[in-house]
Amino acid sequence: MNNESWLTLLKKHRAIAVIRSSEKELARQMASAVAAGGFQFVEITWNTHKAAELIAELRSEFPTFSIGTGTLLNLKQLQQAIDCGAQFLFTPHTDVAMIKTAVDAGVPIVPGAFSPTEIMTAWQAGATCVKVFPISGLGGAAYLKSLQGPLGHIPLIPTGGVTVENAKVFIDAGAIAVGLAGDLFPKHLVANGDWRAIVQIARTLTEKLTTC
């Protein structure tokens, strides 16, 4: 999937489920739950147990989905992620060399940025989108909205403070999509294996965002 088609699909579905777990099978169950709830984009963080294996397996299990990875910290990890078949790449920071490597490989990359300078640096290096992170420490949707005047041409994805309740607020403020982690997977539900409840949380969010 090229950048343009990936962006088109992202703008349609609006949300990425971010999954981090010390247990591979638990991460698989989390992915299956949000998939059942309507998510089409799943990010398995690179520090998840056996992330490379899981990404490859999920791609086979959900061939129509976009399965990517995040929390990539260096070029070695990024190349490993590309090699295992990750369909998109997130980093928590802006690293021009990592961006250019992903661009050369034809894999969408979304680097993290904090300031307008970092956002522009990432975009000019070839980023597909820019992750505004952590959005909770930047003023939330108000900060994102304030970026739209000078930087409205850059597709932004806020993470780190997005919840089921406020996700639509970020879309309304100009985000192309949002990334959610803990709010999709309440610890007590995961601990109890209450996947039906997590499916419903995911469904509630996807229904809310598909009307945007």
**What is the SS3 assignment for 143?**
helix
pLDDT band at 212 (very low <50, low <70, confident <90, very high): low
Per the structure, the count of domains in the chain is: 1
Cα–chain-centroid distance for residue 118?
18
For the beta carbon of residue 163, count every other beta carbon within 10 angstroms. 15
pLDDT value, residue 3: 86
The answer to whether the beta carbons of residues 39 and 13 sit under 8 Å apart is yes
- How would residue 210 be classed by pLDDT, with cut points 50, 70 and 90? confident
Q: What is the pLDDT of residue 142?
A: 96
Give the pLDDT confidence score for residue 105 in this predicted structure: 97
- Its domain, for residue 52, covers 3-209
pLDDT by residue (tens digit) across 65-119? 999 999 999 999 999 999 999 999 999 999 999 999 999 999 999 999 999 999 9
CA atoms within 13 A on the CB side of 84: 24
Confidence (pTM): 0.96
The CATH number given to whatever domain includes residue 140 is: 3.20.20.70
State the pLDDT at residue 189.
97
Cα separation, 165 vs 141, in Å, equals 13
What is the band of 2 on the pLDDT scale with cuts at 50, 70, 90?
confident
Enumerate residues 6+ apart whose C-beta is below 8 A from 44.
19, 27, 31, 51, 54, 55, 58, 67, 68, 69, 70
Name the residue among 180, 203, 119, 185 with its Cα closest to residue 154: 119
Residues for the chain: how many in total?
212
What are 8-38's pLDDT values in tens digits? Answer: 999 999 999 999 999 999 999 999 999 999 9
| Whole-number Cα distances in Å, 167 to 135, 163, 178 | 12, 6, 7
Higher pLDDT, 88 or 139: 88
